[in-house]
């Protein structure tokens, strides 16, 4: 339980968020995962 199916498939819904120091990052609106700035590698990050 937890992650929506779309997120478990690696299809996150990224939105831009602002940090306190003025930077930006991306976060999934569905599961809250922080984007690491790299494109997800299919099959390499599927641990639950």
Is 7 one of the binding residues for Zn ion (CB under 5 A)?
A: yes
Is 30 one of the binding residues for Zn ion (CB under 5 A)?
A: yes
Is 31 one of the binding residues for Zn ion (CB under 5 A)?
A: yes
- Concatenate the DSSP letters of all residues of 9-44 into one string: TT---EEEEE-TTS-EEEEETTT-PBP-SSPPPTTT
Nearest distance from residue 33's CB to Zn ion, in Å?
Answer: 5
Task: Give the distance, in angstroms, between the CA of residue 34 and the centroid of all CA atoms in the same chain.
Answer: 5
Is 26 one of the binding residues for Zn ion (CB under 5 A)?
A: no
**Which helix (DSSP H) or strand (DSSP E) does residue 3 occupy?**
none
- Binding residues (CB under 5 A) for Zn ion: these are 7, 12, 28, 30-31, 33
């Amino acid at each position: 339980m937890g992650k929506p199916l779309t997120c478990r498939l690696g299809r996150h819904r990224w939105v831009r968020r602002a940090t306190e120091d003025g930077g930006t990052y991306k976060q999934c609106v569905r599961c809250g995962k922080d984007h690491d700035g790299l494109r997800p590698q299919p099959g390499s990050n599927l641990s639950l």
